[in-house]
Amino acid sequence: MSQPTFPMHVSVAEARDMLAALLPRLETETVPVNRALGRTLAADLEALVSHPSATESALDGIAAREADTLGASPGTPVRLKLVGESRAGVPFGGQVSAGECVRIYTGAPLPAGVDAICPVEELEDNGPEHVLLRRPAFPGDVRPEGGDFRASEVIMRAGLRLSAPRVALAAALGHAEVPVRRKLRVALLSTGDEVIEPGAVLQPGQVYDSNRAGLSAMLRESGCEVSELGHAPDSPASLQAAIAGAGGADVLLTSGGVSMGKYDFMRDLLIERGRVAFWKVRMRPGGPAILGGWNGLPVFGLPGNPVSSLVVFHVVVRPALTGQPVQSLKLRAATPFRGLKDKTAFWRGVIRDGEVHDYGQQGSGILRSLSDADALVIVPEGGAVETGDTVDVVLL
Ligand SMILES: Nc1nc2c(c(=O)[nH]1)N[C@H]1C(S)=C(S)[C@@H](COP(=O)(O)OP(=O)(O)OC[C@H]3O[C@@H](n4cnc5c(N)ncnc54)[C@H](O)[C@@H]3O)O[C@H]1N2
Ligand code: MOO
C-alpha cells in the first residue's frame, strides 16, 4: 500500500472519539416509564411530588411521644393509652396527647402530636385500650416527608442511562412517561466465505457466525435497534450489495476482512472506494479495526477474530454509541500480565477472592475465554503487571 492519507494506529480513546463524532444527534421521543429500561434520558426529570409524601412510620408498632417513653425497659415498661390507628392509605385524623399512642403500620402517616415509633416486637397488650413498651420509642424510625426527594427538585439528569433502579425512581417521581433519545439504528453484517449460520452442516474450514450473534446481543444490551444484514461472502460486489441494505441505519458494523490478507475486502472497499477515518487501533486484541464511511453511512469494521470483535465492541464501540464511559475498577493482580510495547492489552481475567488472575489462553480465537472470564485486565502501552500490582479492570 502506498503512503496512507488517513490516520493509522490510533489510540483506544481516539478510536472511540472518532466513532462518536460520526454519529448523529438523536431526536427525543416519549415512552411509558415501564418501557424505558436501557434508554437514555433526553431531558432532566424533576420530582412531581415529595417522597415520602408525608412523614411516616418505618415500622409496624405504635407511634408515641419519645419523651413519654424514655426509661422504658423490660423490667420497667411504660404504659400508654391507645387512641386509634394509622394505616398506610388511611391516616389517623386526630391529635395524640401526652401519655397516648396510636397503632401504626409501615408507610402510614405519623399523626399530629407524636414523633417516635416503638416496634410491635417490643410491645405487650395491656387490656383492650393500653400497651406496655419494653423500650423507648425511637424518632429514628420515622421517615420524614421529602426524605428521599422533594417536589420540584431535579432528581435525574439528561444523558442518564435508565437502569432498572432508575426506571423505578422515574416512576416514584410521578412520571408515567419519560423523554428519551430515540434508539440508535445499527446495521450489522458478517463477512467471510467460511462463515455460515449456526445449525447448518459445517464443512472443514468453515465456522459458525458467532460474531453476529454476540454483537447483536451486545447492541441490544446497549439499547440500540439492530438491523441484521446477515452475512456476505468475500467479494467486493457482495459486500457492496449487502451494505446497500443498510439504508436508514445510523451506523453499520461489520466483522471480518479488515486485516492484511488478500481477501480482506472490507478494508479495500473503504480504503479504495469509500472513506477512511482511521485504520488500526493500538490495542490487542482488536488491532486491525477500521472506521470509515460508505455513501455517507459511517462504517465501523470490526476484526473477524471472535474475541477481537467483541472486545473492540466493549471498549471502543459501545462507549461511543451510548456515550457511557467504560467502567473500570482497580484490583490486585494475583498473577503477572504481559505488557506490549506499542499497544494497550486487554487480557481476559478471572476474579477470585477480590483478586484478578490471568485466564491463561489469550488467543483471539478462543471465544470460551471471553465467556469464562469476569473481566478485561488493562495493561497500558509499554507497561507490564507483576503479581501484587494494582490493575485497572473492565468487568464483562
Ligand atoms: N499478516 C497479518 N495477519 C494478521 C494480522 C496482521 O497484522 N498481519 N492481524 C491479525 C489480527 S490481530 C486479527 S484480529 C485478524 C483480523 O482479521 P480480519 O478482520 O481480516 O478477519 P478475517 O480474516 O476475516 O477472520 C479472522 C478469523 O475470524 C474468523 N471469523 C470471521 N468472521 C467470523 C464470524 N462472523 N464468526 C466467527 N468467526 C469469524 C475467521 O474465520 C478467521 O478465523 O487478522 C490477523 N491476521
Ligand atoms: O487483534 Mo487480533 O485481534 O489480536 O487477534
Q: Indicate whether 3 pLDDT > 80.
A: no
Among 307, 309, 362, 379, residue to substitute to test ligand 2 (most atoms within 8 Å of Cβ)? 307
Q: Indicate whether 261 pLDDT > 80.
A: yes
Q: Indicate whether 29 pLDDT > 80.
A: yes
Give distance in angstroms: CA of 296 to centre of ligand 1: 26
Q: How far apart are CA 310 and CA 302, in angstroms?
A: 8
Ligand lying closest to the C-alpha of residue 284? 2
Ligand lying closest to the C-alpha of residue 211? 1
Decide: helix, strand or coil at residue 246.
coil
Per-residue pLDDT tens for 309-345? Answer: 999 999 999 999 999 999 999 999 999 999 999 999 9
Q: Indicate whether 2 pLDDT > 80.
A: no
What's the confidence (pLDDT) of residue 312?
A: 98
- Within 6 A (CB) of ligand 2 lie 284-287, 303, 305, 308, 364
Among 308, 314, 376, residue to substitute to test ligand 2 (most atoms within 8 Å of Cβ)? 308
Q: Indicate whether 1 pLDDT > 70.
A: no
Neighbours of 272 (CB within 10 A): 11
Ligand lying closest to the C-alpha of residue 344? 2
Interface TM-score (ipTM) > 0.85: yes
Q: How far apart are CA 144 and CA 270, in angstroms?
A: 62
Q: Is the CB of 212 under 6 A from ligand 1?
A: yes
Q: Is the CB of 309 under 6 A from ligand 1?
A: no
Which of ligand 2's atoms lies nearest the C-alpha of 287?
Answer: 1
Per-residue pLDDT tens for 144-180? Answer: 999 999 999 999 999 999 999 999 999 999 999 999 9
Among 259, 312, 342, residue to substitute to test ligand 1 (most atoms within 8 Å of Cβ)? 259
**Domains defined along the chain, listed by start:** 8-26+183-322 (3.40.980.10), 28-48+154-181 (3.90.105.10), 56-143 (2.170.190.11), 328-395 (2.40.340.10)
Chain centroid to CA 208: how far? 29
What's the confidence (pLDDT) of residue 247?
A: 87
Q: What is the mean pLDDT of the chain?
A: 96
What DSSP assignment string belongs to 249-302?
-SEEEEES--SSSTT-HHHHIIIIISEEEEEEESEES-TT-EEEEETTEEEEEE
